[in-house]
Structure 1
């Protein structure tokens, strides 16, 4: 897939399944008999006998996820990733507590978020519990509550098995074919006109049937997602302000920056139901305490910084980066009203990171110091500003000034761990990095970035066999099983040619993992053959 794969995901699962409809040479069936729609338009659970098996749906999702990992638009940014997880994990916990996410599905699906370097405003759900978030969305929302509203909605698409229901309607298609066709729809983003022409050509009835069914699902996801986000502790007003943004974009006919509107079309029913839920929630909500108001202000401060980071990392272009720097330079005082301080935090953060992207590290450090002064008194924001200082030195290619004070064993977050690991590697302290990362990957075996840094740490210590195995585990974490198997076999060959290059334990681990991955690759090949 090409550079604009993220734009293809902007069509979301609805667009992908529309591609399935076109290729099926027949209109999509209506909702199965016996399924009634209530006044709210929500769909009840259809039962396992009418849904795609969880294992089959996960295989489809894994196939798509493997392609996302290899796409240039995929970005594993630890700082933004940690921030999004502070929103995502409470939503997951609330969904389980409410009974929306049953234990079997929680165990069998991935529940993994992808960040995509795309400036358009979009988020989407994919088969098997994979979710995508465009950096454009994070940069556009005004609060973590708005982001929680979107993520809660997407989470509910999966917990309510909407994707499974849509795929089940294409009963003649095997999981392999469905996965391949969804990937085809995503790849078609490089030629949107051709894709849209294919969809429109002679299949208007099928498309309309799909859209009508989708709107029922959208209303159900609105209802369930609202309950999930409020139970997770987020402010329900985030739903209202997010709807206002979408309505405004809809009124100006969407200039293309809101693909979320195309895959999640607004209807009068959805808007009315959302407004009714908001009104009821506001009537029943107790007055917030002074501590809660202070916590909310600190959360907005941190969100302003993370939204700014998303805007810079979305590759807006040199002119936009220069504009961010110029705006930051106009900020001369930190002693402003609270609301203005929040805005300044985002402006200074964007300016510092943009200056670093433009290789003006002196200015970047100056703006970061202003940001740290502004963030004093806000522990989370101050820590985030400190990580930015560390990152600036790494981008400049110098050993960070703070490296002497780093105790990586006390890293409190993934972002701290990975940035501190990079700083210590630059300072030649590879053994400390290796020891800490080995503990981390034991608890987080799907962390590809940590495995890759561990490979560097081992390589710097001339532990080449361990470095190759860590590299293999990083590839396996991103579902590149063939690549991982090749690396493990290379490690085995190195041990055979130089028996002293690894001890017995390391050699046994490599042999065991080689057998596991070889079996997995063969099983996948057999499953693909059966699905065909």
Structure 2
């Protein structure tokens, strides 16, 4: 019942009918490799694009630009040293405190905010991302579809559906996955043991090539295994689809011992900053987490803990204490980009917009096309009632991050405040298309077509949007 409230009817219909239909599987093209007799690379890209639109429209996304920017940088660092031949990645950060990460055909990588809370060092976080990149590079989803074809074709679509549910509601996701698989079929329809071992092996090689300790992967596995006792009968989705056993940990330890161990730190200031922000974000009471960071800062005196004090104090509305905490950071931390953005955020929250803008204007010159800088600056300009300047920043940001739906929403708002009505319609159409809301997109097209003084090129552009919406409607049927 809950799944029907989260998944669109077209997907539900597909999930219900897919396991009973084998004719479609027989007609799919083969592109020549052992993992593509069921799904071609082009179909994987279509599946990933459609699925990511659905996820963005139904799950609560984590819109913290610093956390997103950090994860994106780390992901691309790993991708450049992975087995992916031509990395084309689409990162989605989900505002969910549970431990989870997932890879979907077409290069979609999803990360729950809770993953950064579960990892206690950057290399542990990197090990999970490297593992998911390995699943993509080896096309394990396509291999699973091939394996399932004879008995239950397209069951993997149901697994993808359960991930979609889990992103919006972790308990519902676990229930959906369990009911999809049945009590005796969970291991069969999760990634196979061979797939997991391959992803472990390639993931650790990616870590080593990226200058990260490959031993981080078995260390993260051990942390996950120890945490299982706290979850009872509701383990995180990641542990349902990626079961951690003692033999798997032992195998990972043996493999890690055969790889070079770089002389690199386990964590970075960027990791500590992102993690502290999420610790505050997910705290039910900011005052409690503020006390914890203050106690840690008094004991350790580290910049990491002082930064945590700043974030927690700002969340509690004590901006003076927050700025004082930033002043206690060492000089390296004070010069760090994310810290400078954080200072601007606190000044903005305190109503000191002129001071905040001075910082962000300088950073925008120093770091052009930087998502955390542009997004933070654009939000400030919106609040300063300068929609034209905000719109220009959002337009620039969306060139490099077209799937940032939060920025698309705010771009429409900026256009509206600036009186650019046709652009409001177009920005809203794009927003609805990228969140798989076909009906709303088509209604917005109709509204736009009723505007006066439209040029022929305007009408042609709107008709193209209508065609894109109808194509998306067909894609949502997911007839793979």
TM superposition score category, shorter chain reference: 0.7 to 0.9
Aligned counterpart, 2:75: 88
Which of 38, 47, 56 is the equivalent residue of 2:43?
Answer: 56
The root-mean-square deviation of aligned C-alpha atoms, in Å, is 3.9
Partner SS for 2:110: strand
Partner Cα distance (1:459, 1:24) in 2: 47
Confirm whether residue 367 of structure 1 aligns to residue 325 of structure 2.
Answer: no
Alignment CA distance shift 1:351-1:210 (3 Å): same
Q: Deviations over 1:118-174 (max 9, x none)?
A: 222221222332222111111221222111100000111111111111123343777
State the Cα deviation string for residues 193-219 of structure 1 (Å, max 9, x = none): 864774576x62x445445x6221111
Counterpart contact for 2:162–2:177, Cα < 8 Å: no
Alignment of 1:56-205 (within 5 A): 56-95=43-82, 100-103=83-86, 106=87, 111-171=89-149, 179=157, 182-183=160-161, 186-187=164-165, 191=172, 195=176, 198=179, 204=184
The TM-score normalised by the length of structure 1 is: 0.73
Shift of 1:426: 2.2
Unaligned runs of 5+ in 2: 8-13, 22-31
Matched, 1:458 2:415: yes
Structure-to-structure mapping, 1:275-354, within 5 angstroms? 275-281=253-259, 284-285=260-261, 288=263, 296=265, 299-313=267-281, 315-318=282-285, 321-330=286-295, 340-342=300-302, 345=304, 347-354=305-312
**How many angstroms does 1:80 deviate by?**
0.4
Q: Which runs of 5+ in 1 are unaligned?
A: 9-18, 27-44
Post-superposition CA distance 1:423-455 (Å, at most 9, x none): 122223333333343333334433333333332
Q: d(CA) in 1 for partners of 2:255 and 2:16?
A: 34
Q: Secondary structure at the match of 1:531?
A: coil
Q: What is the 5 A alignment of 1:17-56?
A: 24=19, 47-56=34-43
Kept in 2, the 8 Å contact 1:149–1:226? The answer is yes
Q: 1:438 is matched with which residue?
A: 395
2:248 paired with 1:270? yes
Deviation at 1:47, TM superposition (A): 1.7
1:37 paired residue number: none
Paired residues of 1:351 and 1:364 also in contact (CA < 8 A): no
2:405 is equivalent to residue 448 of structure 1: yes
Q: 2:69·2:372 contact (CA, 8 Å) conserved in 1?
A: yes
Q: 1:137 to 1:462 in 2, by over 3 A?
A: same
Q: Give the aligned partner of residue 514 of structure 1.
A: 462
Cα distance change of structure 1 residues 195 and 162 upon mapping to structure 2, 3 Å threshold: same
- The partner residue of 1:493 within 413, 429, 450 is 450
1:389 to 343, 362, 366: 343
Bigger-Rg structure (1/2): 1
User: Does the 8 A contact of 1:20 with 1:178 survive in 2?
Assistant: no
- 3-state SS in 2 of match to 1:483: helix
Alpha-carbon shift at residue 192 of structure 1 (Å): 6.8
What displacement does 1:91 show?
A: 1.4
Note closer, same or farther for the CA distance 1:527–1:144 as it changes in structure 2 (3 Å cut).
closer
Residues 344 and 359 in structure 2, CA contact (< 8 A), matched pair in contact too: no
Is the 1:226–1:236 Cα contact (8 Å) retained in structure 2?
A: yes
Give the whole-Å Cα distance in 2 for the aligned partners of 1:474 and 1:351. Answer: 36
Is the contact made by 1:60 and 1:178 (CA closer than 8 Å) also made in structure 2? no
Report SS of the residue matched to 1:94: coil
Residues in 1 aligned to 2:289 and 2:20: alpha-carbon distance in whole angstroms: 50
Give yes or no for contact 2:412–2:427 (8 Å, CA) kept in 1: yes
Structure 1 residue 366 displacement after superposition: 1.2
Segment drifting more, 125-134 vs 218-227: 125-134
Identify which range, 299-308 or 179-188, moves more after superposition.
179-188
Contact 1:468 1:491 (C-alpha < 8 Å) held by counterparts? yes
Paired residues of 1:348 and 1:368 also in contact (CA < 8 A): no
Counterpart-to-counterpart distance in 1, 2:419 and 2:461: 22
Q: Distance in 2 between matches of 1:530 and 1:364?
A: 49
Rounded Cα–Cα distance in structure 1 between residues aligned with 2:437 and 2:17? 31
Q: How many residues were matched structurally?
A: 457
